[in-house]
Amino acid sequence: MCGIIGIVGQTPVAPRLIESLKRLEYRGYDSAGIAAFENGRVVRRRAEGKLRNLEAVLQSEPVQATVGVGHTRWATHGRPSERNAHPHQAGRVTVVHNGIIENFAELKAELAGQGRSFESETDTEVVAHLIDSELKAGKPPVEAFKAALDRLRGAYALAVIIEGETQLVLGARHGPPLVVGWGQGEMFLGSDALAVGPFTNRVSYLHDGDYVALDAQGARVFDGTGAEVSRPPKQVSSSAAVMEKGNYRHFMEKEIHDQPEAVQHTLAAYLDPVRMRAEAPDGFDFSTIDRIQIVACGTAYYAGVIAKYLFERYAGLPTDVEVASEFRYRSPALSPRTLAIAISQSGETADTLAALRHARAEGQKIAVVVNVPTSSMAREADRLWPTHAGPEIGVASTKAFTAQVSALTALVIAAAGKRKKVDGNEQARMVRLLLEAPRLIAEASEAEDEVRAIAYDLSKARDVLYLGRGAMSALAMEGALKLKEISYIHAEGYAAGELKHGPIALIDEQTPVIALAPYDELFEKTQSNLQEVGARGGPVIAVTDRRGAPHLSSTARLIIAPEADPLIAPLVFAPAIQLLAYYTAVHKGTDVDQPRNLAKSVTVE
């Protein structure tokens, strides 16, 4: 979603706002803007499109100031344009906002009735007007801010400056996260720790409902009732270094190649390579539950579907998986011996967070498999099961996905052990297999030459089908999602056996079919499905291993992945589908790291 930064500093603020926005560009990049106090007046610079456009504006119209706010936008209300770019202003008030004000239409009508006029199509502008009207009614700044907050419904993080209050930045959190950064004689407000990372690593996480007043000396934080509260700062690790692309052309390419390390770091939290045992980091006893309910969105959801196959197959543990946006709005039948697991890279996805809260309200215990240990989900769950993928910047998730699948696979082994589905020897064998995964993922990422050539042809396609069986059907869906996201080619993933029940009608010479076909117990079935495709003239690409290759070489173009036990095959086959999507997008010349219409962390419904 949108990125927010606010600075009460001592040195020129414009370059600092830009530096921070560069780190936040992964959240949204359809327009950007800043506002700051220049000689006591608020000046504003905004530009449609990427941040470099705002930088160009600032070059021709520089801003001399030390206090200000900045924003990078992912449009919700109002199309991307300079007019709709934040900051938004009304009277003395200037606002940047992440989230959605649900009752904005009602508030706008009321404010318009008072003679106020609006210059943008955004929901944010009503917030500026509300605060301004409270100021006009005579309230001091913090009270005016609180009175306006009390009128808002929806999810929001806000940063606000007020003309006449040149050393003050106000912030509020209702839903999306907001952090306060503590400097030496200067203070910062950001939509996450990355935003304030260039200036400080001492960070307080605001709680839901908090609002805050910052000046150069510190922060006064109030909870939703208006009571002053303490949110002591924590030391966070410096993330500046890991955010470089190195020699790679895109973050996504780097992150695909980071996967062996991401998986290895993650597994270190779950596997004991001396005793050859797997355990949840908090020692959770899976024999105390009868069922698992997984909730997640997008790529994290597909990691959950893979986990379902594995939990049921190896641990005999019934597992349901549901997209969070559906789960939160129905009445799932949950039993007391169910463990709810939310899976999320960011730990902030609004739908997943709401599903987690929904499950909690239904009396469930909650575990989260999450990559950001300081995120809302990590803080709200009963059990934190981390992935250690490091910051993921490319909008299309890669290393966070394999880190999730590896953590979940380790939990499957732990569950199989605790539930006595496997003996000590079998558990040791499974742990050994999983410990091999980082090496095999590295080997899988070397198939780049074949992948690049095939991707060139894929880049000409209009539609692509992905097929797989078992856990590979979930990876097929993830492959289709990756291709859609970054190359804008329409793609669907199917369980291979479903093809004949409808999708086969789509097959013609122009519709490539990508099969994920490890040489396992279902290989022959998939092979037959591919023959059905070939018979209808569809070009077939098979991702298989050395044992499967001779059986498919006459029907398909091949990408060879390392041979892998079914326990780890989804991990080992993942780089092939990620690289295929990546090189297809590169051939098409799309914006790989910041594809159109998407944002990294989706903190609205």
* Nearby residues of 15 by Cβ (< 8 Å), 6 or more positions away: none
Task: Verify cis geometry, omega within 30 degrees of 0, for the bond prior to 518.
Answer: no
Structure tokens at 551: 């059986």
Which 477-496 positions form the footprint of ligand F6R (CB under 6 A)?
A: 481, 485
Give the total residue count for the chain. Answer: 605
| Dist. CA 29–CA 46, nearest whole Å | 12
* Nearby residues of 450 by Cβ (< 8 Å), 6 or more positions away: 557, 558, 559, 560
Number of residues that bind ligand F6R (CB under 6 A): 15
Contact 584, 483 (CB under 8 A): yes
CB nearer ligand F6R, residue 264 or residue 346: 346
**Pattern 443-482, binding to ligand F6R, x per CB under 6 A?**
--------------------------------------x-
**Pattern 350-369, binding to ligand F6R, x per CB under 6 A?**
--x-----------------
Contact between 397 and ligand F6R per CB under 6 A: yes
Tokens 């003996």 map to which residue?
423
Q: At residue 330, what are phi and psi to the nearest 5 degrees?
A: -125, -175
Q: Nearest residue by C-beta to ligand F6R? A: 298
Nearest alpha carbon to residue 224 among 240, 206, 251? 206
Shortest separation between residue 396's beta carbon and ligand F6R, angstroms: 4
**Pattern 282-321, binding to ligand F6R, x per CB under 6 A?**
---------------xxxx---------------------
CB nearer ligand F6R, residue 364 or residue 601: 601
Which 517-546 positions form the footprint of ligand F6R (CB under 6 A)?
A: none
Task: Name the 3-class secondary structure at 389.
Answer: coil
Contacts from 48-51 at CB under 8 Å and sequence distance 24+? 48/80, 48/81, 48/82, 48/85, 49/80, 50/25, 50/594, 51/18, 51/21, 51/22, 51/25
Shortest separation between residue 354's beta carbon and ligand F6R, angstroms: 12
Structure tokens at 382: 């009963």
Shortest separation between residue 347's beta carbon and ligand F6R, angstroms: 7
CB nearer ligand F6R, residue 396 or residue 410: 396
* Nearby residues of 524 by Cβ (< 8 Å), 6 or more positions away: none
Task: Tell me, rounded to whole angstroms, the distance of Cα 363 from its chain centroid.
Answer: 27
Give me the active site residues, please: 2, 600
Which 334-353 positions form the footprint of ligand F6R (CB under 6 A)?
A: 344-346, 349, 352
Shortest separation between residue 600's beta carbon and ligand F6R, angstroms: 7
CB nearer ligand F6R, residue 483 or residue 496: 483
CB nearer ligand F6R, residue 479 or residue 539: 479
Contact between 603 and ligand F6R per CB under 6 A: no
Contact 190, 181 (CB under 8 A): yes
Looking at 212, 602, 603, 604, which residue binds ligand F6R (CB under 6 A)?
602
Looking at 20, 122, 293, 601, which residue binds ligand F6R (CB under 6 A)?
601
CB nearer ligand F6R, residue 92 or residue 484: 484
Structure tokens at 548: 């499967």
Shortest separation between residue 380's beta carbon and ligand F6R, angstroms: 14
| Dist. CA 298–CA 287, nearest whole Å | 29
Contact residues toward ligand F6R (CB under 6 A) are 297-300, 344-346, 349, 352, 396-397, 481, 485, 601-602
